[in-house]
């Protein structure tokens, strides 16, 4: 009577193979487990992919995903600053000091955007190689 329940419970932890956990991405931001491997777990008739953390080295992959998330957030902030600088440029009414301030804001934000996009790409490349 108890044996079928025990085997059903153990079948939920039987690994059927490796997989990549997916889902959870919000507004293009990566999940914290983006670079981690998963294990297919058989639960009755369905299989699902469960995150597998085996080594302390997996913490570096989690850190890489968090850094990539923060860099993408920084890119969105830079885009917002470019837009704010554009609004300041348009509403400066030809005053030279406001024009130069708005132009400097746009240029600095564009540089920041380029740096964050390049850095996110580098982090993604490096973490993908370690995975």
- Output the six-digit token pair for 128: 């993908």
Residue 13: closest CA among 38, 33, 36, 40: 40
The domain tally of the chain equals 1
- Judge whether 64 and 35 are in contact, CB under 8 Å: yes
What is the model's pLDDT at position 85?
A: 96
Q: What is the pLDDT of residues 2-47, one digit of tens each?
A: 544 444 444 444 445 567 776 666 777 778 888 888 777 777 777 7
Long-range contacts of 74-77 (CB under 8 A, 24+ apart): 74/112, 74/116, 75/113, 75/116, 75/117, 75/120
> How far are the Cα atoms of 36, 95, 127 from residue 114, in angstroms, in the given order?
27, 29, 20
Question: What's the pTM value of the predicted model, to 2 decimals?
Answer: 0.71
pLDDT tens figures, 54-91: 888 888 888 998 999 999 999 999 999 999 999 999 99
Which domain, by its residues, includes 10? 3-130
Q: What is the pLDDT of residues 89-110, one digit of tens each?
A: 999 998 999 999 999 999 999 9
Reply yes or no on whether the pLDDT at 53 is more than 80: yes
CA–CA dist 46, 40 (Å, integer): 10
What is the pLDDT averaged over residues 102-121? 96
The dihedral built from the CA positions of residue 87, 88, 94 and 96, taken in this order, carries a sign that is negative
- 60: its two tokens: 């570096």
């Amino acid at each position: 009577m108890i044996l079928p329940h025990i085997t059903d419970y153990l079948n939920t932890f039987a690994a059927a193979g490796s997989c990549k956990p997916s889902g959870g991405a919000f507004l293009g931001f990566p999940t914290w487990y983006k670079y981690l491997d998963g294990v297919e777990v058989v639960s009755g008739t369905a299989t699902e992919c469960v995150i597998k953390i085996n080594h302390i080295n997996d913490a570096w992959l989690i850190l890489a995903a968090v850094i990539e998330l923060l860099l993408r957030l920084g890119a969105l902030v830079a885009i917002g600053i470019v837009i704010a600088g554009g609004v300041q440029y348009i509403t400066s009414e030809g005053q030279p000091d406001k024009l130069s301030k708005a132009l400097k804001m746009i240029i600095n934000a564009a540089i920041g955007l380029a740096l964050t996009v390049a850095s996110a790409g580098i982090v993604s490349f490096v973490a993908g190689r370690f995975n």
